Amino acid sequence: MTRVSVNKFEDWRTEARALLDAGTAPHEADFVDARSGQAALDLVPDPGPRPAAVTRVPRKFLDLAGMVSCFRDPNRWNLLYRILWRITHGEQHLLADHIDDDVEKFRTMEKAVRRDIHKMRAFVRFREVNTGAGLEYVAWHRPDHLIVEANAPFFVRRFGSMRWAILTPDESAYWDLKELRFGPGMPRSAAPGDDELEDLWRTYYGSIFNPARANLRAMRAEMPVRHWATLPETQIINDLLRNAGSRTISMVKEQPGSARLWIPERPTLPAMKDAVQGCEGCDLYKIATQAVFGEGPRGAAVVMVGEQPGDQEDQDGRPFVGPAGKLLDRALKDAGIDRDEVYVTNAVKHFSFEERGKRRIHKKPTGPQISACRPWLEAELGLIKPEVVVCLGATAALSLAGRDVRIQKDRGRFMDTRWAKRLLITTHPSALLRMPDRSLFDEQYAQLVNDLAMVAEFVQRKSA
């Protein structure tokens, strides 16, 4: 019998590959869970560096196995090895066999871990703690499974712009704005308790409270009772329920998705630029390389709003740097506007595309995606308070003027808006790049420059 002590999934992976290559059958191997405190002392000595693995392990299995490895049961390592052995010894499609005992256990564990991960995302509550070295946020949570490491990157994406610690009885995670670190588990008493900061925190929670969860019965069913102790929102739930009517209405209007939950509590342009990387307000974050936030001075008199990042913007992480951006630069210059003094952004912050072969073809964002992303744009405009907001093309116009505009009909005249003294709709530079011939291009380009010159004149008159 070969005994192997395993602490983490990576350990198991290395050891399992070595055993597999050595032809060690599952009944000849015993994985001992180092974390459960049962690690035996008569372990085989570390044999030193191992030869590169020769057996191919399917990627799909490894992904699922990573999930299952978080399940709180010292026997999971042996189960994983047994399944791996079977998959690589003639049962490639084992995981599709839903009546197999091993597979059933594996699936049950996987599901439990996924639920627990989801629960942690929904129920972790940070408390503000002033440590003297600045604000920190601390949360205490008791997950059912060993999910802290697997789940921590989510919290980095979601709360990347604040310094935080998530303490759990098994393990703790720390984010210092640069690096994610893990440390030992902490008892409940290590986390901050009731104090005056609680009020602040409650107000925050009230403000992002999701009335869908104000259904007490559903909450109890969804949440093991022991979580209730860590949720001060249960103390204010009656207040919230009283207001839930109007909140529900405004939330429903924002369905199916909204970026609202990802907007930082104290929105500044840099904080939002960080936070937008964690946004999951609609599906677009799943395929894009990164979110592309607006760029330009906080005090800009003019905000230009495009549609969404293009292929190049998606890769560079900056708005209007591709072909449309070059054309915009030229038009701004011809209109007498310095691009460096303009704040440039988009109605939708993630690139929407379709893959055709190797190429990524721009895909128009849908109405729900545009409304899901609007909170970012509104927050940008709310901070900058420009003199003029320029909508480049129909998507920006739809987002800010709120209706279906016909560019050719509605372009080139000032309109009222709550975001600036004036709103102006004009052609998107990408549309010019698609003009079928030179004379049409010239005509449209002249109109674009003309529209931008109106903006320049308005701003100059205001500042004169």
Contacts (Cβ under 8 Å, ≥6 apart) of 419? 378, 381, 382, 386, 389, 400
Instruction: Answer yes or no whether residue 305 interacts with ligand SF4 by CB under 6 A.
Output: no
Complex with ligand URA: residue 86 or 349, whichever CB lies closer: 349
Stretch in the footprint of ligand URA (CB under 6 A) among 30-38, 63-71, 305-313, 334-342 = 305-313
Backbone angles phi, psi at 417, to 5 degrees: -160, 160
The SS3 of residue 294 is coil
Q: Name the 3-class secondary structure at 405.
A: coil
Q: Which stretch binds ligand URA (CB under 6 A): 74-82, 315-323, 431-439, 446-454?
A: 315-323
The dihedral built from the CA positions of residue 250, 252, 253 and 257, taken in this order, carries a sign that is positive
- Candidates 101-109, 150-158, 276-284, 454-462: pick the segment binding ligand SF4 (CB under 6 A): 276-284
Total of chain residues touching ligand SF4, rule CB under 6 A: 16
Of 101-109, 137-145, 275-283, 446-454, which part binds ligand SF4 (CB under 6 A)? 275-283
Contact range with ligand URA by CB under 6 A, out of 115-123, 308-316, 368-376, 439-447: 308-316
d(CA 153, CA 144): 18
Q: Which segments of 126-232 does DSSP mark as H helices, in order?
A: 148-158, 197-207, 216-222
291 binds ligand SF4 per the rule CB under 6 A: yes
State the binding partner of 372 from ligand SF4, ligand URA, none, CB within 5 to 8 A by kind.
Answer: ligand SF4
Distance CA 395, CA 308 (A): 9
Q: Is the CB of residue 276 less than 8 Å from the CB of residue 376?
A: yes
Least Cβ distance, residue 428 to ligand URA (angstroms)? 6
Binding pattern to ligand SF4, positions 312-351, x when CB under 6 A? ------------------------------------xxx-
> From the list 325, 365, 375, 386, which residue makes contact with ligand URA (rule: CB under 6 A)?
325
Which of these ranges, 4-12, 147-155, 369-377, 387-395, lies near ligand SF4 under the rule CB under 6 A?
369-377
Q: Which does 320 bind (CB under 5 to 8 A by kind): ligand URA, ligand SF4, none?
A: ligand URA
- Judged by beta carbon, residue 106 or residue 320, the one nearer ligand URA is 320
236 phi and psi, to 5 degrees?
-110, 10
Task: Name which position in 161, 430, 432, 445 contacts ligand URA (CB under 6 A).
Answer: 430
Q: How many residues bind ligand URA (CB under 6 A)?
A: 13
Q: How far apart are the first and last CA of the chain?
A: 87
CA distance 394 to 96: 47
The minimum distance between CB 250 and ligand SF4, in angstroms, equals 17
- Is residue 307 within the footprint of ligand URA (CB under 6 A)? yes
Look at the block and give the residue holding tokens 């996987």: 110
Residue 302 tokens, joined: 């003019």
Residue 126 DSSP SS3: coil
- CB-count burial class (<10 Å; 0-12, 13-18, 19+) for 193: exposed
Among 112, 214, 276, 337, binds ligand SF4 (CB under 6 A): 276
Q: Does a cis peptide bond (omega within 30 degrees of 0) precede residue 224?
A: no
CB of 371 to ligand SF4, least distance (A): 9
Q: Which does 166 bind (CB under 5 to 8 A by kind): ligand URA, ligand SF4, none?
A: none
Q: What is the DSSP string of 58-120?
A: -HHHHHHHHHHTTSS-TTHHHHHHHHHHHHTTT-TTGGG-TT-HHHHHHHHHHHHHHHHHHHH
Binding residues for ligand SF4 (CB under 6 A): 259, 276, 279-282, 284-285, 291, 348-350, 369, 372-373, 376
Q: Which residues bind ligand URA (CB under 6 A)?
A: 306-310, 313, 319-320, 322, 324-325, 346, 430
